[in-house]
Amino acid sequence: MEKKMSVRVAAAQIAPDLTSREKTLARVLDAIREAATKGAELIVFPETFVPWYPYFSFVLPPVLSGKEHVRLYEEAVTVPSAATDAVSAAAREHGIVVALGVNERDHGSLYNAQLLFDADGTLLLKRRKITPTFHERMIWGQGDASGLKVVDSAVGRLGALACWEHYNPLARYALMAQHEDIHIAQFPGSMVGPIFADQMEVTIRHHALESGCFVVNATGWLTDEQIASIAPDAGLQKALRGGCMTAIISPEGKHVVPPLTEGEGILIADLDMSLIVKRKRMMDSVGHYARPELLHLVMDGRATAPMVTTTQPSLPTAEARTLSDGEYDTSADRDSDQRIAVLRSPAR
């Protein structure tokens, strides 16, 4: 695929509908349509935007959060489903790449998932946040490294991380080593206050500089009415304000357009892709500036599973386990010490 020299991107800072997955999804489809009419080739939505980020878990004690947690299960997204089909169809209709954060339901667990749809509607990537942060651990399960990959799209090579995954330097390096052109960053927004927005800005600007890529970051927005519905206690409501930094950053660590820190809106910017080479000519963290013989990353990219089936014998025969010099080979004993349960079928 020939590399594009200019890409128009969009970052959406909009409010979810806290009552319904379908109503939030309608807002997503409207934003896709609006961005596409403005010529955007990529649009990024906030973290777990569909059906909504679990703000309740940040302000309510666990003993009081059960009802909202169950409701999140009921409104969460399965992949694939009618909800993902609708986003895929919109991406295809408008010829736009879509990065959408969802609460993914997989049977009895929820996950913080990032979905990347190509401009033809193909689901390029579904990845799960590898470590939910603080209160989020009561809500979501853990992802694995199988989703730490960069994918080719109509707008270039895309990588994605959610929120404080950006504080995991090895997770970021895994994407850098795969040469992302545009990094997708997603945060919840409307939390913690201005300090969260300040920290977020430092984080995404640093990643752009270190990776030599563009960063498109989207954060969510809550209205005063929504904040009151989540936290009737006025003393807790301040915890659900501020913390918005929807921004588009160049490989030189600069804002391409002024960031959006309050209210709803969609940022639009044209990315000059030649700036990637301009930055990496000076400093390529995974190329001429790296020292892999001294420091390198080893990543286990296998997908984890609670059960694996096999048709192999549980243990090799005695003859097979005896080495040529008559000593006993204990490697099979070591190999059998695994972290996951293995269901073994009888040998045929």
Is position 129 annotated as part of the catalytic site? yes
Rounded to whole angstroms, the Cα distance separating 6 from 275 reads: 10
Report the run of H or E that residue 338 belongs to, with start and end: none
Considering the candidates 126, 129, 149, 280, report the single residue annotated as catalytic. 129
* Share of the chain residues as helix, strand and coil, in percent rounded to the nearest 5: 35, 25, 45
**Beta-bridge partner residues of 13:** 265
Is position 163 annotated as part of the catalytic site? yes
A 10 A CB-CB count for 307 gives 8
In the chain, how many H helices and how many E strands? 10, 13
Residue type, 28: V
Rounded to whole angstroms, the Cα distance separating 313 from 229 reads: 58
Considering the candidates 136, 163, 180, 280, report the single residue annotated as catalytic. 163
Report residue 184: phi and psi, to 5°. Answer: -95, 120
- List the one residue out of 178, 158, 199 whose CA is nearest residue 301: 178
Rounded to whole angstroms, the Cα distance separating 327 from 348 reads: 28
Residue 326 neighbours by CB under 8 Å, 6+ apart: none
Rounded to whole angstroms, the Cα distance separating 65 from 57 reads: 7
Considering the candidates 47, 104, 136, 165, report the single residue annotated as catalytic. 47
DSSP letters, 6-43, are EEEEEEEE----TT-HHHHHHHHHHHHHHHHHTT-SEE
Q: Give per-residue burial for 121-151: e unless 16+ CB within 10 Å, then b.
A: bebbbbbbbbebeebbeebbeebebebbbbb
Catalytic residues: 47, 129, 163
